[in-house]
Every structure is written in structure tokens, then in C-alpha cells.
């Protein structure tokens, strides 16, 4: 009497491995997953860098506004430019002082750029300053 395993074709050695189609499908799934994960990691890193730049640029703008408010002289209407070192990097600021409808109030807009050639500022801060007594 023959054993049952020797009679059925389902137990051949060639049927115990994956087919080429199964391997290709698995590789496509794995490759797609890895691609999405790497893209997500890259996006996360870029966002993290952008947040750091915007945060430090905002600090530069706040410091420039504080300097303007502390200054004993009321700011003249016009545009001034400058640069400042913060966190081992040179930041470029542009300060625009303009009139408001109130005679004793001026609007101050400060733009800070990471690089002098940047078209768009990393941050833009708008504040107001009142005329100091005795100015």
C-alpha cells in the first residue's frame, strides 16, 4: 500500500517555494512602502529646518522692535537695512517705518531674511510705536 503523500501531487517539492509573481508583488509592496517612508522622513526634516529658521528669524524681528522701542529717538519714516548675528548665522533685516492715521503713532514693519538674496522673508513682524514725550 502506498502512502497518501506519494499519491497526491500537492506535496511536490516545487510547490513549497514562492512563485516569481508572488516575489515580484512582495517587492513592489516593499519598494512602495520604503519610498513613502523615505519621502515622509525627508518632509519631516525639511519642516523641522523651516520651523527653526522661522523661529530664529522671529527672535531677530522681536529684538529689532525692542531696540527701536528702547531708542530715545522717535523713528524716522523710511526704510533701513541691517544684519545681525544670532545662533552663529548672519540674519538680514529690513525695517520700514510709516505714518498712521494717528499723528503720534508710527507703524514699524520688520522683515527678516535667512540670506540677503532671499526673495521672501523668513518672517515679517508688524508693530506700532508711540511718540515719546519730549521728542
| Domain definitions of the chain by residue range | 18-130
Q: What is the mean pLDDT of residues 54-69?
A: 96
Q: Which residue has the higher pLDDT, 88 or 17?
A: 88
What count of other Cβ atoms lies within 10 Å of the Cβ of residue 94?
A: 16
CA-derived radius of gyration, the chain: 33
Handedness of CA 50, 55, 58, 59 (dihedral sign): negative
pLDDT in tens, 117-129: 999 999 999 999 9
| 88-92: long-range pairs with CB below 8 Å, 24+ | 89/56, 89/114, 91/56, 91/57, 91/60, 92/116, 92/118
pLDDT of 74 reads 87
pLDDT of 17 reads 83
CATH of 18-130 among 3.40.630.190, 3.30.1300.30, 3.40.50.2300, 3.30.530.20: 3.30.1300.30
- Distance, CA of 66 to CA of 95 (rounded, Å): 13
Residue 72 pLDDT greater than 90, yes or no? no
Helix residue ranges, H only, the chain: 4-7, 20-70
pLDDT of 16 reads 73
pTM summary value: 0.70
Amino acid at each position: 500500500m502506498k502512502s497518501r503523500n506519494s499519491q497526491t501531487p500537492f506535496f511536490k517539492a516545487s510547490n513549497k517555494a514562492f512563485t516569481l509573481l508572488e516575489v515580484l508583488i512582495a517587492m513592489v509592496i516593499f519598494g512602495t512602502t520604503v519610498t513613502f517612508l523615505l519621502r515622509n522622513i525627508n518632509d519631516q526634516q525639511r519642516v523641522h529646518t523651516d520651523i527653526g529658521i522661522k523661529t530664529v528669524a522671529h527672535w531677530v524681528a522681536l529684538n529689532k522692535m525692542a531696540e527701536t522701542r528702547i531708542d530715545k529717538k522717535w523713528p524716522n519714516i523710511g526704510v533701513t537695512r541691517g544684519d545681525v548675528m544670532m545662533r552663529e548665522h548672519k540674519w538680514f533685516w529690513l525695517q520700514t517705518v510709516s505714518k498712521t492715521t494717528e499723528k503720534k503713532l508710527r507703524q514699524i514693519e520688520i522683515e527678516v531674511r535667512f540670506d540677503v538674496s532671499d526673495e521672501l522673508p523668513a518672517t515679517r513682524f508688524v508693530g506700532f510705536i508711540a511718540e515719546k514725550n519730549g521728542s
